[in-house]
Amino acid sequence: MEASWGSVNAERGWYVSAQQPEEAEAEELSPLLSNELHRQRSPGVSFGLSVFNLMNAVMGSGILGLAFIMANTGILGFSFLLLTVALLASYSVHLLLSMCIQTAVTSYEDLGLFAFGLPGKVVVAGTIIIQNIGAMSSYLLIIKTEFPAAIAEFLTGDYSRYWYLDGQTLLIIICVGIVFPLALLPKIGFLGYTSSLSFFFMMFFALVVIIKKWSIPCPLTLNYIEKCFQISNATDDCKPKLFHFSKESAYALPTMAFSFLCHTSILPIYCELQSPSKKRMQNVTNTAIALSFLIYFISALFGYLTFYDKVESELLKGYSKYLPHDVVVMTVKLCILFAVLLTVPLIHFPARKAVMMMFFSNFPFSWIRHFLITLALNIIIVLLAIYVPDIRNVFGVVGASTSTCLIFIFPGLFYLKLSREDFLSWKKFGFPLLLTHVRVCSGAISAHSHCNLCLLGSSNSSASASQVAGITGACHHTQLIFGHSQTWPPMWLQVSQSQSIRYPTTRTLFFCL
């Protein structure tokens, strides 16, 4: 018997006819899960807790580098770029949700399977695993390096021999006592309360950045006597720049893209949402991204207006340098560290799910398997955090490659492959628009890092993402396979409405690994 459209075993066909308006409206309000699954599931997670969970997935230590990015792009330039990336992130979530409704699948990995078969599933799952392991290890690296220093600032005297000032000891204790128990929770909705706590920590950070704008004089000085006689801020060093372009400006978009990465958590949150529908989940996404954008912009703006061109690549280092024993600054450091810490269990959930989808998709749920995979992932990220010497290497790999795939490329490809819209409709042209944006971003990076980047080319083209200044800094090789055409548009896009359309096959799926 022929498999249904909603089954992952169904023939991956195409519907060229456009949707009718009433069909589109029904799709907006239709639930992701079937009625049978609705009856079996729990009441679900509230709208507010879902927003907190998604915001916790969005926001992380990337907030510390945005003031540095503003210093290298200018206030207006930064605002435009940040808004652009936020809108594109929201739009790519819209594409994901649309494909989930249409195909009746409930995971990012199954979308890859439905669109491109087993290779698509493996590529998506592998990208999620690399992305989330990189993010978790980088967060733990921050804990290992910054937590002892934050504690030491509250102490007087020589406490260097004590165990609670040893980064590795603290990291192991925190992972065993906090990260691992929270990561063991079977549902992502259980983390809503810890995510709300993380959100208030970020709010406190933004508030402190605003207040401390008037506590540090300009021009900056480390001499207290000079600071007391500082009369005015009106110098050339203290004038904000609306637009600024330098070699570091090209590194802004990868950092921003990583700062809005939440796509691996979208579908798990969607599945547990109370009264789930595409419209309701899109509202959750838009609310979370809007609040994240607001906190990002405020902290970056006032961080930049505090230090101007002297802003550090990690904002808190500047406050430690000029306000070494300020109790409020020391407290906000701990708050940021705890916020980062509470993000780790949340992004652990999609990583564990990707491992299960890749290797155990045909097996029933087992607590033993659940426990062992969680334990294995925790051991891996702890080892990476202990033995990777520089956080920039981790952020460089993650921000410059996998986050670009998960935010911009995969949702666009899935929509292009699976959508029932007319192939030449404006909605499907949104995909080339997203891809063009990524191409411009990566091309700017490669121009400043002398990497030979080619996002659209032959199947032998190799793409190198450059060093990302400040908090990102590794050159990671990304091979993009996009058919055999060396020109844009590819041959399979060069059609007219009267011609039969050749749709992309599995070979058109590029690999970001």
In a domain, 36, yes or no: yes
In a domain, 272, yes or no: yes
In a domain, 475, yes or no: no
DSSP state of 251: G
How would you class 90 by CB atoms within 10 Å of its CB: exposed for 0-12, middle for 13-18, buried for 19 or more?
A: middle
Which tokens hold the place of 251?
Answer: 């590194």
In a domain, 315, yes or no: yes
Q: What is the pTM of this model?
A: 0.73
In a domain, 86, yes or no: yes
In a domain, 8, yes or no: no
In a domain, 464, yes or no: no
Q: How far is CA 166 from the centre of its chain?
A: 30
d(CA 86, CA 290): 8
Domain that holds residue 426: 31-451
Residue 258: which H helix or E strand, with range?
Answer: helix 252-259
In a domain, 497, yes or no: no
Q: Name which of 79, 114, 80, 81 is nearest 6 in CA terms.
A: 114
How would you class 79 by CB atoms within 10 Å of its CB: exposed for 0-12, middle for 13-18, buried for 19 or more?
A: middle
461-467 own/partner pairs: CB under 8 Å, 24+ apart: 465/254, 465/396, 465/400, 465/401, 465/404, 466/250, 466/251, 466/400, 467/251, 467/396
DSSP string, 323-345: STT-HHHHHHHHHHHHHHHHHHH
The CATH number of residue 356's host domain is: 1.20.1740.10
Which tokens hold the place of 271?
Answer: 């599945």
d(CA 498, CA 375): 56
In tens digits, what is the pLDDT along the chain, a chain of 513 residues?
444 443 333 334 333 333 444 454 555 555 555 444 444 555 778 888 999 999 988 887 678 888 888 888 888 989 998 898 888 888 888 888 888 888 888 888 888 888 888 898 999 999 888 888 888 888 888 888 888 888 888 877 666 677 778 888 889 999 999 999 999 998 888 888 899 999 999 999 999 999 888 887 776 665 543 444 444 444 566 787 888 777 777 767 667 766 777 878 888 888 888 888 888 899 999 999 999 999 999 999 998 888 888 887 778 888 878 877 888 888 988 998 899 899 899 989 999 999 998 898 888 888 999 999 999 999 999 998 888 766 556 555 555 677 777 777 888 788 878 877 666 666 666 555 555 455 455 444 533 443 333 333 333 333 333 333 333 333 333 322 223 333 333 333 333 333 333 334 443 343 333
Question: Number of structural domains, the chain?
Answer: 1
